[in-house]
Amino acid sequence: MQDALIDFGIGAFTGGLSVSASWGLLWLVVGLMGFSRGTCSWRVLLNSFAACLAPLLLVWAFFWMRGTAFPSSAAFAAGVSVIPLTLVSLGLRPAPDGRRAVVHMLEGVRSLMDDLLGKHRECGDCSHDHEPHKAEGG
């Protein structure tokens, strides 16, 4: 029984860090696109890389310290699903305005992605340049 609880805890720890690493990977990809467009700095890349790499290193260190003491089991698999299912259930709860909480989160993510990728909001994301041009010849 104690081994099953430990496996469940290790699974929950691994599941949470995997979600965190996936989130960091998403922002690393967005940051790379923004950096290549010149709309964000190298610091965004560094922070995104750290947010992706740190959880992966923690999971690796935890499994390295654990060794082969506990083989993977159903309790471990159940533990891995705890954090993702918790996030889904929190996202499905209604917000004060009646919409789902996940809708608000996705709007925030979309806004941040637009900022990092340099999209225009005022003009409906047009593709032409809005910088003032100097008059030629005079």
Question: Could you report the average pLDDT of every consecutive run of 10 residues in the chain (138 residues)?
Answer: 83 92 92 88 91 93 75 83 91 90 89 81 56 44
| pLDDT value, residue 115 | 84
| pLDDT value, residue 129 | 53
The contacts found for 60-66 with CB under 8 angstroms, 24 or more apart, are 62/10, 62/13, 62/14, 66/10
Whole-Å CA distances, 126 to 119, 121, 130: 8, 9, 9
| pLDDT value, residue 71 | 63
Q: At what angle do helices 42-66 and 2-37 cross, to 10 degrees?
A: 160
| pLDDT value, residue 133 | 40
Whole-Å CA distances, 131 to 82, 88, 128, 134, 137: 49, 42, 9, 10, 18
| pLDDT value, residue 56 | 93
Tokens representing 23 are 């989130």
Residue written as tokens 């941040």? 112
Residues 6+ apart with CB under 8 A from 105: 91
Global pTM value: 0.74
